[in-house]
A and B are shown apart, each in its own frame.
Chain A
Amino acid sequence: MTTPVSTSQTEPQRNWKDYFTFNTDHKVIGIQYLVTSFIFYLIGGALAAAIRTELATPESDFVDPEVYNQLFTVHGTVMIFLWIVPAGAGLANYLIPLMIGAKDMAFPRLNAVAFWLIPVGGLLLMASFFIEAPQAGWTSYPPLSLTMGQVGEEIWILSVLILGTSSILGAINFLATIIKMRIPEMGWFDMPLFCWSMVATAIMVLLSTPVLAAALIMLSFDLLVGTSFFDPNGGGDPVVYQHMFWFYSHPAVYIMILPFFGVISDILPVHARKPIFGYRAIALSSLAISFLSLIVWAHHMFTTGTPAWLRIFFMATTMAVAIPTGIKVFGWCATIWGGKLRLNSAMLFGIGFVSSFVIGGLSGVMLASTPFDLHAHDTYFVVGHFHYVLFGGSVLGLFGAIYHWFPKMTGRYMNEFWGKVHFWLTLIGLNITFLPMHELGLEGMNRRIAIYDAEFQPLNVVATLGSYLLAVSTFPFMINVVWAIFKGQPASGNPWKALTLEWQTSSPPLIENFEEEPVLWCGPYDYGIDVPPEDQQSVQELLSEVKTDMGR
C-alpha cells in the first residue's frame, strides 16, 4: 500500500514486492508493521462499530449477548495487541536507525522475525471467529475465562503469547540499537526525544511482558490440563492471575502511549519553529513513567479485596504518575507557546493529541483515587477514560506521526486539505463518541453488557452516532495515503526544515540510509539557530561551538 515511488536515482530502489518478503531492512519492516497494524485497526474498528450498533438500543437486537461478548473481547485484543503496540513498533523501526545515524537495527533478522509473528498471531485470533471466539474480555479473568469455551480461550492465549514474543524481540532490538549504535558524536542528551521514549517503552516491554507470559502459561494449564492455579474450586486463587495480568497490562498502557509522547515531542518543535521546552525533563520523565508503571498495577484491583494499606500505596503511586506526565504536557504547551505555528495536518494532530490526552489523563487521576474508583469501577466512566487516552492519545499521535514522516517514507507530501478534513472528523467524532461515556458511567451503566436500562439510551445513541463519524473519518485518510503515494507533490529530503538526522538523507532514504555519514551539527531541537552551513569545515566549527555552548 505504501510502496515508495521510484525516483530517477541510480541507487537501487525498493520494489513493491519487497514488502511481502522476509526483508531485513528496517524501513521495509517499519512499513510492514504500519500497514499490517492499520489493517487490524480497520478490523478492530468494524468490531467497534458493531458494538456501538448493538448499544444503540437497550435490547439485544443486533447481535446475541454471546456474540456481543466475542465482539468486545476481540475488539480490545485487536486494538491493543495488533494496532497500537505494533504501530508504535513500526514507527520505532522506521525512525530509530535514521534518527541515530545508523544503517539498520542491531539485529535485522531478529527484527524481521518479530514482525512476521504479528500476522501469525493476528490471523490466529481472527480464525477464532470461525470456531468459537473468546468471550472473557481482553483481561480473561479466571474463573470466567475457564468456563466460557475452552477452544476460543486457548486460541486467545496462544495469540497473545505470540504477539508478546514479537514485542519482546522488538524491545531487545530497540534497546540494543539505541544504546550501541548511535553515531559517535551523539550522546544520550543529543538524541531525539522519540528515542528516549522508545528506551522507556522497551524497558517496560522487557520487564513486564514476560510476567504476562507466565500468567498465560499457568492459565493454559488450568484450562487444558485441569490444574487449579486460578480456580477457586480446586483450591487456587484467581486474584493471583489478576496481579500477574496487571503487572503487565498496566505498563502496557504506557507501552501504548510513550512512543506517541516521543512522536509529539518531535512534531511540536518542528512545526512551532522553537526549541523543545525542557528537553532533559521530558527525556527523564519517560524513564520516571516506566519506573512508576511497574508499581501501580493493583489500582485495577481496588474492588477485589486488597488490604487497605496496599490500596493506599497503589493510590499514591498511581497519582504520582501524573507528575512526570504533567511535566511533559507542560513542556509541550511551553514549546508551542509563542512559536511560529505551521498549522498543517501533522501539527493539528499533535495539538489534538495534547488536548484529548489531557482529558483522559485527568479522568485517570480521578480513577486513581480509591473511593472514587470503588464507585466507578467497571462502569462506562472507565471505558470513556481509557478511550480518551488510547484514541485521543495514541491514535491521534500515530496519525500525526504519519502526516509528519510520510514525506520521508515516500518522498511525497500528503494532501493538506484532506488531512485537515480527516483531523476535524476524527477530533469531533472522538469527543461525540467518548465524552458521553463518562456521564453514562457516573449514572451507573456497566461496561461489557449488551442489554442495559432504557434510561441510558439517549446518550448511547449519541455515542453510537459519534462512532459512525469516526468510521467515516478514516476514509479521507486512506484515500489521501493512496493518492499521495502516486500523485502527491514530491517532497525534498527535508521538507519541514527539521534538524534531526532522519531529515539529512533523501526521501525516501537509500537502502542503507545515508549516502555519507550524517553530521550532528546541532542539538535535535535547536530551532532559531542559523540554517545549516554548506561546507564541511564550517560544520566542524559549528559543531565545536555547539559543544562548547553545551559545556563539554
Chain B
Amino acid sequence: MQGSTVNPSQEELQYAETATTEQEHEDHRMFGVVLFLVAESMIFFGLFSAYLIYYFVMPEWPPEGTPELELLLPGVNSLILISSSFVMHRGQTAIKNDDVSGLRFWFTLTAIMGAIFLGGQVYEYSTLEFGLTTNLFASCFYVLTGFHGMHVTLGLFLILFVLLRSRRDNHYSSESHFGVEASELYWHFVDVVWIILFGLVYLL
C-alpha cells in the first residue's frame, strides 16, 4: 500500500495541522478509498467467478468456432499498463519531496501510457472476428474487458484531474496530496485487475 509509506511523525504533524485549519477531524479519506476498492474488487470477483463457472461447466470452452485470440498486441498493451503503475509511483515520490513539476511529468507520462492502452483495446476490438452476441465466450470477453476499460477510463480522468489541480499554487505538497495517493491506488487496483483478467481470458 502506497499510502502507508508516509513517515508516521509526518503523518501526525499533518493531522495536527489539518485539524486546526480546514478539517474538524482526522482525514479518513484514504481509508474510505480502500473500502471502496474492496467493494469494487468484489464486482470483478463476481464477474470472474461467473467466467470460471462457465469455463469449468461448459462442455467446450471457448465454444466451437470461436476464433483464436491474438496475443501479441494485448501482451504489449498489458506491459504498457503494468509499467505505467511504476511510472505513476515516481510521481508520488516526487510530490513527497515537494517536487510539483516532477509530479506533473510522471503523471502526464502515466496518462499517455493509459491512453495508449485504451487505444490498443479499441484497435483490438475493431480487428476481432466476433461480436458481443456471437457466443458466450465472446460476451464474456467484451463485458469483462469493456468493464475493465471503463475503469481505466475513469482512472485516466482521475489522473487528468490531478494534473489540472496541480496547476494551482501549492495545491499538492509533501504533506497534503490525497488526490495523488487516491488516484494512484486506484490505478494500481485497475492494473492488478487487468493482470487477473488477462490470465483468465487470454491465457487460461
Contacts and interface: CB of A to CB of B under 8 A. Distances in A.
Nearest to A169: B36
A351 to B, nearest CB: 36
B132 A209 contact: no
A339 interface: no
B123 interface: no
Nearest to A172: B35
Query: Which secondary structure characterizes the binding site on chain A?
Result: helix
A175 B39 contact: no
Contacts of B132: 221, 225, 227
A479 interface: no
B36 A218 contact: no
A184 to B, nearest CB: 12
Contact of B31 (A171, A179, A207, A236): A179
B100 to A, nearest CB: 27
B54 A207 contact: no
Contacts of B63: 235
A171 to B, nearest CB: 8
Interface string B134-165: 01100110010001000000000000000000
B46 A247 contact: yes
Contact of B54 (A171, A179, A210, A237): A237
Contacts of A215: 46, 50
B143 A221 contact: yes
B133 A176 contact: no
Interface stretch (B22-30, B104-112, B167-175): B22-30
A206 B46 contact: no
Interface string B184-195: 000000000000
A1 interface: no
Contacts of A214: 43-47, 50
Query: Which secondary structure characterizes the binding site on chain B?
Result: helix
Contacts of A173: 32
A243 interface: yes
Nearest to A205: B39
Nearest to A241: B50
Interface in A193-217: 206-215, 217
Interface stretch (A102-110, A426-434, A488-496): A102-110
B72 interface: no
A168 B202 CA distance: 32
A181 interface: yes
B28 A229 contact: no
A312 B54 CA distance: 23
Contacts of B11: none
A211 B43 contact: yes
A210 B143 contact: no
Contact of B139 (A103, A175, A228): A228
B203 interface: no
A211 B46 contact: yes
Interface of B: 24-26, 28-29, 31-32, 35-36, 38-47, 49-50, 53-54, 57-58, 63, 132-133, 135-136, 139-140, 143, 147
23 contacts: A106-B32, A107-B32, A171-B35, A179-B31, A180-B31, A206-B38, A210-B40, A210-B45, A210-B46, A211-B42, A211-B43, A211-B46, A213-B46, A214-B44, A218-B143, A221-B139, A226-B133, A227-B143, A229-B50, A234-B136, A243-B53, A244-B46, A244-B50
Interface of A: 102-103, 106-107, 110, 168, 171-173, 175-176, 179-181, 206-215, 217-218, 221, 225-229, 234-237, 240, 243-244, 247
